[in-house]
């Protein structure tokens, strides 16, 4: 038993990777789905086991290939890692039953098995980024997850999915290459690729070579921001989320950007923060205007969108602005707000995109004008949409409120009253676009496209309702989400120089 426990960090990545390889041999869609569900179901078990271990015993270190750290690749699990691992694996498992009908409806028969193979590869890549303690290994997993994402998006039915996938490929590869340049600069000055080792050596390296260290930070920041879809670098996200298959959109919206946020936290707080004075570096100065711009501009763009999926994609960009604002505040409450919003947003957007996928499954369209009266023909689905939307707005009693609360407290702690006001103001814009969808859904006559639509089958309904319930539940019982997040924030800030 302890032999398996010792191997858990390695298994976290090996299980989905082996699953992806075996899925690549399959030809039938349903078999591939069943296999993918089985493999995905193992990952949260491993992730929870890791979380319990880390919570009681402290960080875990796993040596890949038996080679000790600065020489070999190390998988280092601490509380932040374990939190992200649990989030990604749990949300993926909840979404898997949904995939069967949705993928079968939107992707041609012979390509379905490949879709599931790509999905498992993407899952392996995301889990790998979250667990690895080696900078270049993070790049490899980043590219594994990105390449499989490009394939998943390109499998969308609309021909615009191809253009969206191409745009994402160009921008995503530029981002990953910027990340590699940053890692290269850090490697040149410190001589190591291991996160902990770089942190140990960065202090003296920065004294000897201040400019490459700063340049490395800049390159890393820009590269990860491209993957994060931070404000000016978000151009790939609306099209990619709008035209990809619905299950792929829901999966990516809930996981991909969150793992990029984790990587950013790791680099800013566990490498640069430990060796240099993080508040003296220009990180916050750059993050403040970009986050606030994201919060406002993306929300306003969402109000004008006709395609509901694109509207939610712009909303995602805005919510990522909240997360990075929490990071920019760099105090206990602000960082807690950012991390807990990472968790809550995954649940909220997962629920919203699953609801839209159900609409696509039954009605075949997500254009707002065609969806009149859908709240009456698909009651449960739209109830889920409204509840998750309320959580998105930050209505008290839902998870979204908890994140906004911590962010506002953090802003006030930092003495930035205007920022707190801006957080509230931008949440009101969310009211506009969710309210517009609600108005069309409930208060217009039933339109042609949705006349025969009804609620989706049980396998699709249950994951959607589970995530919606979670997005409300975590607004009431916050011990698991905000409690863990504040402990993580404490550890991150405590490690600062």
Judged by the rule CB under 8 A, the positions of this chain that interact with other proteins are 3, 7, 10-11, 14, 17-18, 21-22, 24-25, 62-66, 136, 139-140, 143, 147, 150-151, 154, 159-160, 162-163, 165-166, 169-170, 173-174, 176-177, 180-181, 184, 187-188, 193
Task: Give every CB contact of residue 189 below 8 A, 6+ residues apart in sequence.
Answer: 202, 205, 206, 208, 209, 212, 213, 216
Contact 488, 55 (CB under 8 A): no
Between strands 74-77 and 60-63, the pairing is antiparallel
Taking the complex as a whole, the smallest distance from the CB of residue 405 to other proteins amounts, in Å, to 41
In angstroms, rounded to a whole number, what is the distance separating the alpha carbons of residues 231 and 101? 34
E-assigned strand segments in 208-349 = none
Cβ proximity to other proteins: between 8 and 287 the closer is 8
Q: Determine the distance from the C-alpha atom of residue 173 to the mean position of all C-alpha atoms in its chain, rounded to a whole number.
A: 18
Please give the helix or strand (H or E) that residue 446 lies within, else none: none
Cβ proximity to other proteins: between 213 and 292 the closer is 213
Contact 240, 168 (CB under 8 A): yes
* Number of residues that make up the chain: 497
Q: Please name every residue paired with 77 in a beta bridge, in sequence order, or none if there are none.
A: 60
Taking the complex as a whole, the smallest distance from the CB of residue 22 to other proteins amounts, in Å, to 8
Task: Give every CB contact of residue 52 below 8 A, 6+ residues apart in sequence.
Answer: none
End-to-end Cα spacing for the chain: 39
User: CA of 270: how far to CAs of 37, 49, 76, 197, 483, in Å?
Assistant: 34, 23, 12, 11, 21
Taking the complex as a whole, the smallest distance from the CB of residue 53 to other proteins amounts, in Å, to 16
Q: Please name every residue paired with 62 in a beta bridge, in sequence order, or none if there are none.
A: 75
Taking the complex as a whole, the smallest distance from the CB of residue 170 to other proteins amounts, in Å, to 6
Q: How many Cβ atoms sit within 10 Å of the Cβ of residue 71? A: 11
Cβ proximity to other proteins: between 162 and 300 the closer is 162
Taking the complex as a whole, the smallest distance from the CB of residue 121 to other proteins amounts, in Å, to 10
Taking the complex as a whole, the smallest distance from the CB of residue 20 to other proteins amounts, in Å, to 8
Cβ proximity to other proteins: between 34 and 162 the closer is 162
Cβ proximity to other proteins: between 162 and 286 the closer is 162
DSSP codes joined into one string, 1-12 = -HHHHHHHHHHH
Contact 84, 130 (CB under 8 A): yes
Taking the complex as a whole, the smallest distance from the CB of residue 45 to other proteins amounts, in Å, to 17
Taking the complex as a whole, the smallest distance from the CB of residue 118 to other proteins amounts, in Å, to 11
Cβ proximity to other proteins: between 34 and 174 the closer is 174
Cβ proximity to other proteins: between 19 and 475 the closer is 19
In angstroms, rounded to a whole number, what is the distance separating the alpha carbons of residues 36 and 24? 11
| Closest among 192, 57, 46, 216 to 131, alpha carbons compared | 46
Cβ proximity to other proteins: between 139 and 231 the closer is 139
Cβ proximity to other proteins: between 146 and 319 the closer is 146
Taking the complex as a whole, the smallest distance from the CB of residue 136 to other proteins amounts, in Å, to 6
């Amino acid at each position: 038993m302890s032999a398996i426990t010792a191997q858990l960090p390695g298994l976290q990545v090996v299980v989905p990777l082996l699953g992806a390889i075996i899925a690549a041999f399959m030809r039938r869609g349903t078999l591939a789905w069943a296999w993918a569900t089985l493999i995905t179901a193992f990952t949260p078990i491993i992730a929870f086991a890791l979380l319990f271990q880390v919570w009681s015993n402290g960080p875990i270190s796993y040596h890949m290939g038996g080679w000790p750290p600065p020489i070999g690749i190390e998988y280092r699990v601490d509380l932040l890692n374990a939190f992200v691992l649990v989030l990604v694996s749990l949300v993926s498992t909840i979404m898997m039953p949904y995939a069967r009908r949705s993928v079968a409806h939107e992707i041609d028969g012979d390509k379905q098995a490949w879709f599931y193979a790509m999905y498992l590869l993407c899952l392996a890549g995301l889990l790998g980024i979250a667990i690895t303690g080696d900078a270049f290994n993070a790049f490899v997993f980043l590219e594994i997850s990105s390449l499989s994402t490009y394939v998943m998006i390109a499998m969308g039915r609309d021909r615009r999915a191809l253009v969206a996938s191409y745009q994402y490929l160009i921008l995503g590869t530029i981002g990953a290459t910027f990340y590699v340049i940053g890692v290269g600069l850090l490697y040149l000055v410190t001589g190591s690729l291991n996160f902990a080792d770089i942190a140990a050596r960065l202090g003296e390296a920065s004294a000897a070579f201040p400019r490459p260290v700063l340049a490395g930070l800049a390159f890393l920041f820009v590269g990860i921001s491209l993957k994060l879809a931070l404000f000016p670098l978000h151009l790939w996200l609306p099209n990619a989320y709008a035209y990809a298959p619905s299950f792929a959109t829901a999966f990516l919206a809930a996981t991909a950007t969150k793992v990029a946020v984790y990587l950013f936290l790791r680099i800013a707080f566990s490498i640069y923060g430990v060796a240099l004075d993080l508040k003296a570096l220009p990180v916050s100065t750059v993050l403040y205007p970009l986050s606030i711009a994201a919060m406002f501009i993306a929300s306003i763009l969402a109000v004008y969108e006709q395609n509901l999926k694109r509207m939610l994609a712009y909303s995602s960009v805005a919510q990522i602005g909240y997360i990075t604002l929490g990071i920019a505040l760099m105090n206990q409450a602000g960082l807690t707000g950012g991390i807990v919003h990472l968790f809550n947003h995954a649940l909220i957007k997962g629920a919203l995109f699953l609801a839209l996928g159900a609409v696509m499954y039954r009605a075949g369209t997500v254009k707002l004008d065609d969806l009149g009266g859908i709240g009456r023909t698909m009651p449960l689905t739209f109830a889920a949409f409204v509840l998750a939307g309320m959580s998105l707005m930050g209505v008290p009693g839902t998870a979204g409120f908890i994140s906004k609360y911590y962010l506002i407290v953090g802003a006030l702690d930092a003495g930035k009253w205007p920022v707190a006001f801006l957080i509230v103001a931008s949440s009101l814009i969310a009211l506009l676009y969710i309210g517009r969808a609600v108005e069309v859904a409930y208060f217009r006559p039933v339109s042609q496209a949705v006349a025969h639509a009804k609620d989706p089958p049980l396998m699709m309904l249950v994951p959607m309702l589970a995530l919606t319930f979670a997005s409300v539940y975590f607004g009431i019982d916050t011990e698991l989400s905000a409690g863990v997040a504040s402990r993580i924030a404490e550890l991150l800030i405590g490690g600062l120089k």
